[in-house]
A and B are shown apart, each in its own frame.
Chain A
Amino acid sequence: MELFRIKKDIPFMRHALVLNAVSLITFLAAVFFLFSRGLNLSVEFTGGTVMEVAYEQPADLESVRKVVTQLGYADVPVQNFGTSRDVLMRLPVLQGQSSGQQSEAMMAALKAQNPAVSLRRTEFVGPQVGKELLADGLKALAFVIAGIMLYLAVRFEWKYAVSGIIANLHDIIIILGFFAFFQWEFSLAVLAAVLAVLGYSVNESVVIFDRIRETFRRQRKMDPVQVIDHAITSTISRTIITHGSTQIMVLSMLLFGGQTLHHFALALTIGILFGIYSSVFVAAAIAMWLGIKREDLVKTSGKKAGDPEDPHSGAVV
């Protein structure tokens, strides 16, 4: 079985300009939603109140959820806690309401729905922890960007480093844009997914860059655009298959992983899909605009001088 039967190099770069324009628009839209709607940060980042209530009979979680939703809390986890009569919920901080007011309003609403409810306790997650987590997240992001750029610059050349990192930031911003647009909860796990995507997506760009370097060495007659097209064409089959495999895993998480892993898997899905696109059309295209040349690479990497066309291959089957 072979999925890809490509006769000659696909001229990916022919439409680079149009696709880059599309990328730019998507990117700007993501930035726009990020600023206009903002991220729906989880309790971990914002601080918030956790409530535990007890019923005399096993609690009807659905009706509790309904009450919670009516009060304007979206995506609030409502779960049994310890026994089936106890219900736990986490309320995010609402502007202009103290944690005490929040729990009072919630209790009143729950009492109206079922008078046999009693408040067990309210808990608090300090907002200072959240601020730190956010700061640490940004630090990690900066570290990853700097680290990857440095690596690409040493291993290839600065032009590759710049285009690789732009492509990946493009992915990250689009993931965040999705989370802002749909107001999905942005938790610590999602942050981890976003950073993992950053590493994973660069991986994709690296594979293409590797091929570009190799093609520059082998095919001395090709011009840079042809080299890029050839490199992408010869890796596209691998690209689709590996991303497909990773996506199978992520899909499996989406299906079996439950609520906790849901948004994590969602972030990865968007990251993987845009990762393919951005490596081909953003990273390679920007590298093309930056004017990569054969001389840039052949100079820097002196190893593997041997002719890749191995003379051993006498017998062709």
Chain B
Amino acid sequence: MTTTTSTPSATQSSSASLAASARFGTFAIVFSLAAPVVYLLCEVLSLPLFTYHPATSRIDFGWAKGRSGEGPAMYWYGWTATMLIVCTVLGWLATLLPDGVVRKIPLALIWLLPILAMIPLAWALYEPFWSKG
């Protein structure tokens, strides 16, 4: 009878070391805290990184109005890109702070902020969609 010994793969060990890293923890917590706030601000203040025009596949930097005869403009891709970039920068900056600073933030905000952000996001849809028909 033979027995085999399993060795953890490179992926598993890198994943485990990432999970054990306090700096990654700080990055992940700040990224996730910032995400709903940054996304909400992007939507409310019209801050897409770029505007995509799907009918013509044209991309404009920043916010751009849909051009006449060229179909609608899409901002969601740009909001998402803005959110990912800003949150990555904020998460990285947080790793430069002293260890205890981020740990003072109440962790419950990570699930509360998304719920709170959904309220104005839903309200913003009332006028263009839910008040009709």
> Is this pair of chains taken from one and the same complex?
no
Q: Which residues of B contact A (CB under 8 A)?
A: none
Q: Which residues of A contact B (CB under 8 A)?
A: none
